[in-house]
Structure 1
């Protein structure tokens, strides 16, 4: 809501409504209009709040490099990377994944072309589905593994989750494919947040653990 410019001006400036999203679903860029909802603020990613999901930060040393979301017998891994302004990364990353993993095939999915097949986890294999989304100066890689990689019905909660993710790229210079920084919710700075009203990161309190 805007304040009156001068006390003597009687007219009331109308409250501005948030701009309506121009796309049906995300992942969203933080600077584009997107639906207001409860999200977990992890710095570079804002994730939908779903009490059925177990959300964990994946860390290398002291750096948080990704997110793992666990639900029933499946999982969703998310990693946001910096990308060039002029082009996306998915075609390049897709080629790398295919060269390193066997039994992967391209298929059409809700976010465009994706890969499906198997991934190796230690000494065993596990069904996997690789989804890439190119955004403005960022790239989001999502890997669904377990039964949800094979069954669209089982995958539906993960797809809905992914459609409401918000990526916060920021304005800082970053190297190509550099992980966009993440943080635990309790590591947020004391500065006033610029989020729109109504976004409550947690309803049940912080429940983010770490995977190293």
Structure 2
């Protein structure tokens, strides 16, 4: 597995800037993982299939530790951390596998309700304001969004850029994934990344946070992957792709 660091990633807002900043503090530190299982309308029921809360696994050994997210290594997987240009904070991690990508962001959420229903609506409004289209579909992770945004080709032709949004509500957190490339269009091409998405472990922490605040990501302190074939290798920083965010 190869590990890289995106540099000064351009941000593409998929909600209005003020929509994610006016929430009150969560104040729910100490809530157990059993208080919310992600079974709100439209959301995936996590159960034993993942993604997981850190309280639901026996050991963190063998994961790539990125702070708020623990990633299971896999041969051929490339990881890139996306950095916000203005603040230089890590705001997303992108998993590249077999020609497709999955961008990940984790957010604080209220104790007893999910965010995915509301966020899908906001993504739809934002995509529509940019001249794009969205379609709700039922997929592996419950209700998903397929977004088509206008994009120009290198030859000057006009087409669409397609992204598939998946979301899972967990105990005091919300995990969003954005599939790109062939995985956005082809279920078979998405299988590998979907499997990795199910293995993700979210580390919410106990500190009170406003709902929709990004959970903090960072470069890994170490990599405890047991196999040389899957251990991350570090590359020189390079510019990452455009990222999407909800807050």
Is TM more than 0.5 here? yes
Return the TM-score normalized by structure 2: 0.66
Of the candidates 58, 71, 90, which is equivalent to residue 97 of structure 2?
71
Give CA deviations for 1:26-59 in whole Å, capped at 9, x if unaligned: 0000012468773211010001101311101111
SS at match of 1:104: strand
**8 Å CA contact 1:59, 1:210 repeated in 2:** no
> How many pairs were matched up?
180
Alignment gaps of 5+ in structure 1: 1-21, 189-198
Question: Is the contact between residue 68 and residue 77 of structure 1 (CA under 8 Å) also seen in structure 2?
Answer: yes
Which residue is 1:23 aligned to?
47
Q: 1:131 to 1:120 in 2, by over 3 A?
A: farther
SS in 1 for 2:179: strand
Q: Residue deviations 1:61-96, cap 9 Å, x none?
A: 321111111123321100000001121110111011
For residues 104-162 of structure 1, the C-alpha deviation after alignment (integer angstroms, 9 at most, x for no partner) is 11111111111113245687632211001000000001000111111111000010010
TM superposition score normalised by structure 1: 0.76
CA 1:37–1:160: 2 relative to 1, 3 Å: farther
What is the rounded CA distance, in whole Å, between the counterparts of 2:66 and 2:169 in structure 1? 20
Q: Is the 8 A contact 1:37 1:48 kept in 2?
A: no
CA distance in 1, matches of 2:126, 2:168: 20
SS at match of 1:156: helix
CA RMSD of aligned residues (A): 2.5
Tell me, yes or no, if structure 1 residue 171 matches structure 2 residue 206. Answer: yes
Q: Give the 5 Å matches for 1:120-131.
A: 125-131=160-166
The runs of 5 or more residues in structure 2 that have no matched partner are 1-45, 154-158, 241-247
1:207 aligns with 2:238: no
1: CA distance between counterparts of 2:150 and 2:79?
22
Matched, 1:150 2:177: no
The residue that corresponds to 1:100 in the other structure is 126
SS in 1 for 2:197: helix
Over 4 Å off, 4+ runs: 34-37, 120-124, 208-212
